[in-house]
Amino acid sequence: MIRQVPVFFAFAILTAVADLTEYATDVIPTVSPATYWRADWANLLIQAVLKFVLVGEIFAHVFGSYESIARLGQLLIRALGVILVFAAAIAAAYASQNSPHGIISGAWLLDQTTFIVESGLLVFIFVFSLYFHLVWDRRLFGISLGLSISSCVHLASWAILGNLGALDPKRMIFVFLNMATYHAVVLMWFYYLLVPSKVAVIPAVPLPENDLEAWNRELERLVRP
């Protein structure tokens, strides 16, 4: 399994380690607030890079075996990536600056930016594979589904959090919503990765039967176009 989706495993382990480290910097009294926010920034940057590499891994698994659409997909996803980065930059430029400390509001904007690009790219992968009626590996589908749900909920939360005051008590609701969603998604990943799928016997779908004359006509057309 680790060989099949190495980036996902790196993402799962590094994210857990980075979150625990950040939690430690939050609760240890000797760590200053500035150090905590620097750790938060480092955590966000690491997670952002890992998420985009993970999106690349999902794309490669879904479309990599089909050369004809892989190239088209690469072209489209790159173009969409550029558009999403511009859109996220515009959203960040027009976002409310509710914290007097640049390091804090910057971290919130970085979160929002990451989730705009991430959710846009994941939706594109789903739409593109639906258009071509491609079937996904169950585990890969679970990973993508969890990542997409998490990014959409986080995007909505951060869009609201960005407009609330730094000390607004309602902030905690959205912080808990994000945490609850992420924990639910982790359970979903456990389910898709560890619980074996039901072994369904898929009957061969017979192609329509037709007459020998048509077969001969097709052969003739091939031999004498």
Partner 1 sequence: MTLAIILVIAAALALIFILGVAVSRNLQVSAKPGLAQRIQPIDIEAFRNLADPAEDDYLRRSLPASEFRAVRRQRLRAAVAYIQVARRNAAILIRVGQAAVAAGDLPTAEAARQLVRDALWLRRNATFALLGIYVALAWPHAGFAADPILDGYLHLNNSAMLLGRLQNPSAVVRISA
Please answer whether residues 158 and 112 qualify as being in contact, where contact means their C-beta atoms are separated by less than 8 angstroms. yes
Report d(CA 26, CA 224) in Å as an integer: 77
Please answer whether residues 192 and 141 qualify as being in contact, where contact means their C-beta atoms are separated by less than 8 angstroms. yes
Select from 44-52, 74-82, 98-106, 213-221 the region that touches partner 1 (CB under 8 A): 213-221
Question: Does 224 participate in binding partner 1 (rule CB under 8 A)?
Answer: no
Please answer whether residues 110 and 48 qualify as being in contact, where contact means their C-beta atoms are separated by less than 8 angstroms. yes
Structure tokens at 68: 């004809």
Structure tokens at 221: 């057309």
DSSP codes joined into one string, 99-146: -S-HHHHHHHHHHHHHHHHHHHHHHHHHHHHHHTTPPPPHHHHHHHHH
Question: Does 66 participate in binding partner 1 (rule CB under 8 A)?
Answer: yes
Closest to partner 1 by CB, 25 vs 113, is 113
When binding is defined by CB under 8 A, the residue of 2, 68, 194, 223 that contacts partner 1 is: 68
Q: Which of residues 99-158 bind partner 1 (CB under 8 A)?
A: 112, 115-116, 119, 122-123, 126, 129-130, 132-136, 138, 141, 145, 148-149, 152-153, 155-156
**What is the DSSP-derived secondary structure letter of residue 7?**
H
Report d(CA 155, CA 111) in Å as an integer: 8
Closest to partner 1 by CB, 48 vs 72, is 72
Question: Does 76 participate in binding partner 1 (rule CB under 8 A)?
Answer: no
Closest to partner 1 by CB, 21 vs 197, is 197
Report d(CA 89, CA 78) in Å as an integer: 17
Q: Which of residues 158-197 bind partner 1 (CB under 8 A)?
A: 159-160, 162-163
**Minimum separation from the CB atom of position 19 to partner 1 (A):** 22
Report d(CA 28, CA 155) in Å as an integer: 29
When binding is defined by CB under 8 A, the residue of 27, 172, 199, 205 that contacts partner 1 is: 205
Select from 33-41, 64-72, 101-109, 166-174 the region that touches partner 1 (CB under 8 A): 64-72
Report d(CA 154, CA 51) in Å as an integer: 14
Interacting residues with partner 1 (CB under 8 A) = 66-69, 72, 91, 94-96, 112, 115-116, 119, 122-123, 126, 129-130, 132-136, 138, 141, 145, 148-149, 152-153, 155-156, 159-160, 162-163, 201-212, 214-215, 218, 221-222
